[in-house]
Amino acid sequence: DTGVSQDPRHKITKRGQNVTFRCDPISEHNRLYWYRQTLGQGPEFLTYFQNEAQLEKSRLLSDRFSAERPKGSFSTLEIQRTEQGDSAMYLCASSLASTTGTGELFFGEGSRLTVL
Amino acid sequence: GESVGLHLPTLSVQEGDNSIINCAYSNSASDYFIWYKQESGKGPQFIIDIRSNMDKRQGQRVTVLLNKTVKHLSLQIAATQPGDSAVYFCAEISTFGNEKLTFGTGTRLTIIP
């Protein structure tokens, strides 16, 4: 499978615990995005990387959230001291950006987080 | 603030009929628009896109229309099939601006057999 893969697909945790999600983008893609989606809503932008550089972070991304893409390939999204309001689907997407602009975003299947 | 919205949250269509899903956007700087299909428990799947220098683009059974004057986007699905049942999102991006995709709330399309 050469698409965007995310792990784990489902995570159930207790409030206050830390969780980490991993995203492996399409190999030649230089852009990687994290989105959050709650039930009945469209995905909301969290942050994105161009190669290893984190270029933008949403105000939704509180200081409990941190994302990294250390080698410009896979990315991790960590949530510290989880709260029930963090329960959502966390989506990763990748694209190949060029001088003509950003290309099509390909999404993974998402990591569903449930905080008890 | 910037927003992308949909006129109808749900739409039911008889199998074989055509469906039209509408979307309004507010960011006049948006120059790239995409329709995504999302099935239950899955990530959004690209359907069709259109750039702001076009007003119509056709794919296989799908057509996207863009009216920049009224900032309106529509997705037409011809000869709907049961597999078309899903939530459809329009999304917009300013490719040389903040370059982040902004999604609307979505429309749930149900195909009635």
Q: What is the pLDDT of residues A18-60, one digit of tens each?
A: 999 999 999 989 999 999 999 888 999 999 999 999 998 998 8
| CB atoms closer than 10 angstroms to residue B4 | 23
Q: Which residue of A has its CA nearest to B108?
A: A40
CA distance A48 to chain B (A): 8
B:50-109 residues touching chain A, CB 8 A cutoff: 89, 91, 93, 95-96, 98-106
Residue A94 in contact with residue A31, Cβ under 8 Å? yes
- Predicted pLDDT of residue B6: 47
- The residue ranking higher by pLDDT, A19 or B96, is A19
Contacts of A20 (CB under 8 A, 6+ apart): A76, A77, A78, A79
> What is the torsion angle, in degrees rounded to the nearest 10, for the CA atoms of residue B24, residue B67, residue B89 and residue A43?
-60
pLDDT digits (tens, 9 = 90+) for A85-105: 999 999 999 988 766 666 678
Q: Is B12 near chain A, with CB under 8 Å?
A: no
Residue A44 in contact with residue A65, Cβ under 8 Å? no
CB pairs under 8 A between A and B: 58
Tell me the average pLDDT across B87-104: 81
**Which long-range contacts does B64-73 make (Cβ < 8 Å, 24+ apart)?**
B64/B33, B64/B35, B66/B33, B70/B24, B71/B24, B71/B25, B71/B26, B71/B28, B72/B22, B72/B23, B72/B24, B72/B25, B73/B22, B73/B23, B73/B24, B73/B25, B73/B33, B73/B35
CA distance B70 to chain A (A): 22
- A88 closest CA partner among A24, A26, A39, A16: A39
Omega prior to B113 cis, within 30 of 0:
no
Tell me the average pLDDT across A6-18: 97
Query: Which residues in chain A have Cβ-Cβ distances shorter than 8 Å to B96?
Result: 101
